[in-house]
Structure 1
Amino acid sequence: MPLRVLIVEDLPLDAELMALRLQEEGFDPQWTRAQNQENYLLGLEQGPDLILCDWHLPRFSGQRALALLRERGLNIPFIIVSGGIGEEAAVEALRLGANDYVMKDRPARLGEAVRRVLEEKRLRDVHDRDQEQLRLAERVFQNTAEGIKVTDAAGNLVSVNAAFETITGYRAEEALGRNPRFLKSARHDAAFYRNLWATLLETGHWRGEIWNRRKSGEVYPEWLTISAVPDDQGRVTHYVGVFSDITHLKEAQKQIDFLAYHDALTHLPNRTLFRDRLVHALAHARRETRTLAVLFIDLDRFKTVNDTLGHPVGDELLLQVSRRMSEAIRADDTLARLGGDEFVLLLEDADSAQRAATVARKLLECLASSMRVSGHELTVTASLGISLYPTDGEDADTLIRHADRAMYEAKQRGRNNFQFFTQALTDGAFERLVMENVLRGAVGRGELVLHYQPQIALASGRLMGFEALVRWNHPELGLVPPGRFIPLAEEIGIIGDIGAWVLRAACRQLADWDAQGFAVPRMGVNLSVKQIDDAGLTELVASALREAGLGEHRLELEVTESMLMGVPETNRAALNAIKSLGVELAVDDFGTGYSNLAYLKLLPLDRLKIDQSFVRDIGRDGNDEAIVRAIIALARSLGLETVAEGVEEAHQAEFLLREGCNLAQGYLYSRPLPAEALSFPMCFRRD
């Protein structure tokens, strides 16, 4: 059966994936996509059966879409499908009228959610029609899904339908002639029934929620509409009650209420409930002059489990960890999950630091033995940070923050241990200042080095170029990866000096290889977001090429997808200026940002680099494989080459080649290495 769907999503690929998922679930979606308010309003005019809406859009928002729907009084099921909505925002969206939410990384729940909200809409629609269907109509009466009971003017049952029998458990012959009060649950007092009859006698109608009892003795909620049926002279001859069992709606509301204060995976208290309990405990501790402790717990190297074994295994591991820790603490202690692999524990009446330390050791010990998870034998350790009231803070936020800092100190000290918060951790700003001063002179002292990773043509196996990757050879720390110092360099304003050094050094190295007779077609260099905003970037690129004596086409500059979308018109002008030199351009980490594809096709690009997060799960995750196919197809349609990053296994390379990817780089071919450590096969030497 066709299902008209309005998908509010800025990424065409994500919209297509939603539609495909609906098809897999047995629906026949006829869908349109909207990415701004104007498109959305036009879509509403078409009368869709269902709205699937991302929560965060560049020019629109799920919250605004929901408000517009409600302003127009449209009763269209609204499901949030988002990768970035937080738990608190999701609960708030449900309160504002959204029917459900589905995380993009868990698409398997989409079909179930759609079926449920469509069913709930059907029930609501039936309720709205109840008052128009009071007259006895035998076929409707016997086939409706709602229970119907008809009494005479004295209130005795004269007719019931099949749904009445199904819902209450009473056969018609057991109910007829009796007053419906035999169904009473005893959950309502006499005043409730007096008000019900007063309204019914005054207006001829009553509608509301009522709790009744089945024949089995089970108490259940129902939504009941009672209407008086008058004769031609206006005298009431019958009362008709139409009702439905709303147990599932009550359970759904109960689940929503539960999720507002609990973690959906572990059912532990969430951040909101934990903070409420901590605030309450602090008030008690102040009154009674007592101490308490907050323990911040972070699992060590949990990301490795997710990356290598998959998120389902990671979720099962989190469940087992939460059970073990819950069993290791007292019933009146509060263990909460903040998200990911972060937990926090409140110890009330922690009479000493020794008590907190004892609990911390107990938690480490309970995690020490291996766990059997989905056929894998896993051992997990944790790093714990401890803050104490009142010595380490007098309010909830301070205590949590200080426990978090202490946890990071435990990480720095080798993991699988616990640390108490001390003021020295707060003084970390001084250490940062020292690192800033050292980094400022790194270029002048010759401490920056380049490592090179090859890019290989998948079809021929030939070397097509290298990507230059900067490292900081710190005299004490050794080789520092860019992730640790590039953000700091951007923040303190020296990224321009570092970027200029990298560009010139990479061009010189390519020229040196030319002189040695090695045929390296191209050198790739990453651009920082700060560099692309620099008006002198084009001249810097031109001078670096002149100094090295290189042809412009042999240099490739890489920009990230998020950088392209930062200030689109400004970035487009800068890239056009660089492209006018003859330099090639690539988009790094493609697929992880929020590109406007209509804008992307206007950019002077040569290649899209597929982010390694998608390549990593080739052969294990069909969704990632679909994304890789889509990126390759997109690049092909735009006349661009594709480069797959993070290729580590042969089956990944085979898949990429089969799907039409052009180039690959990763550990399968070589780790990033200094120039002197690279090995050039003779087939790459020029004659």
Structure 2
Amino acid sequence: MKHIYDSATDFAIFTVDVDGIVSSWNSGAETIFGFSELEMIGADSCVIFTPEDRANGELAFEMNTAAATGRAADYRWHLRKNGERFWADGVLTPIRDDVNEVIGYLKILRDITDKKLAQEELKRLSATDALSGLYNRASFDVRTQEMISLCERGGHTLHLLLIDLDRFKEVNDTLGHQAGDELLLEVASRLKNASRESDFIARLGGDEFGILQLGIRDPSLGGSLAAKIVHALAQPFGIGETVVEISASIGIASSPDDSAEASGLMRKADIALYKAKSAGRNGYQHFTDELDRIAHKRNQDSNALRAAVAAKQLSLVYQPIISCYTGQATAMEALVRFPGRHLSDYSVDYMIDLAQELGLIFDIGVWVFAEASKQLMRWKSLGISDLKICINTCAKELLHNQYLTSISDALVVSGIEAGDIDIELTERDAIDLEGNGVLEALVTAGFRLSLDDFGVGFSSLSYLRTLPVTTLKLDKSFLDGVPLQVSANAVAKSVITLAKELNLLVIAEGVEDKVQAQFLNALRCDAFQGFLFSPGMPESLATEWLMANRNSHPSHEAVSPAQ
């Protein structure tokens, strides 16, 4: 029996009396613990337990459990003779005499440190983001609820900061995903430097990060950290040989004030983040009840818009574009409207932003293009042959993989040609599309491109040389102060002069009085659009207007712009 006992070198096998004093010690125990049989026989077995387990009375607890139930599992750190810790998996069973009294205990355990470390590494990997080394979304969700519970017990406040990087997509698109990954690593480093050691930082996915900050009931703490992060991330990043500038938008929600549930706290931080982005980005916003009300209303609007698009319950109005030389409408701009109790009171800009956010902009664009094309054909059938239709679009719509197919199909159904259509897009969208071939494909197909709302976005005159546009539409802000203010006149004149030198047609938007029209006419502006001539009109009124306009301005001969 002693031979078998000592042959089990992979297992530590030893016995102790009811006081924990070692009574036998096999060779496996010598190998694993480093103590010889001579050193351990008669010694207190507490020496193989860690100081924490000694303080907690773990040996006595194990023996009591084994005596009561027949066995006690041992799954913990133990100590070797040299002080090194190792992870052990073992079992303690009672030794009984002839009258069933416990006279000692048999312990069998093995060293599973390698297995434990491997498990810990797998656990760490499952809890962390592979790229940044920060915690991941799953860990963040679990930790959020744990810290909320801690707040409830200790009277603390938990601040949840939801961080979204502004303009990160531009870095990926222009410099590539490797540069984007390097930037995310730098962002993670700056977040750690800005935060306290006790703060819990995670990458939630893409360019979104989260921070949990536990502290006293002081609402300013979350804002102080957010301000530090906004400042830190606004500083330039060196990515390879390129200097990159981004910013951050941050939403803050606090527990228990805003929510005592992890999902609710996250939702409210997301609402605050959306507000921070809407306010111009590069800043932070605390959650408020007013933001919650707005979010609920936006959710209602989203449902109403989805239903309207699905049922094709949209409409178009048409606003004329008037030649400065003939007084005749050369084109009608198709403007989408969103009817219904929930949608009709909102601005079109709000609805378009919401449609883009919901991924509905392509469906809306397809419907608008098809309806406007069919309307133009109806006008042509009435003898109004020298008229074009202007249709607004945006980068998200143009980048859809079915966009070119959808407009080609609409042309076939309506019977009009690509040259009958001016496609309008803003400076921001035109710049986003530069270099990807979509604009060039439209020009090749015969469409004309107009740069809409010029002056609202970048107003970079250098882009006018490279973008394949034929028409420049001046935003109505260019008319502020015209013609009474010398500086306003000079700006309008310089832009129109440059556009003419680049062989671009110039259309002035937002013309509201005759004095403005006369001033622009003198500058050789090509066309006007605005309430001076007509607001947007539904199909029937637009048709009546066009017929009256043709009858009152039958000549296509140019007249002097000065007249």
Q: Which has the larger radius of gyration?
A: 2
Asked which structure has the greater RCO (Cα within 8 Å, sep 6+), the reply is: 2
TM-score, normalised by the number of residues in structure 2: 0.46
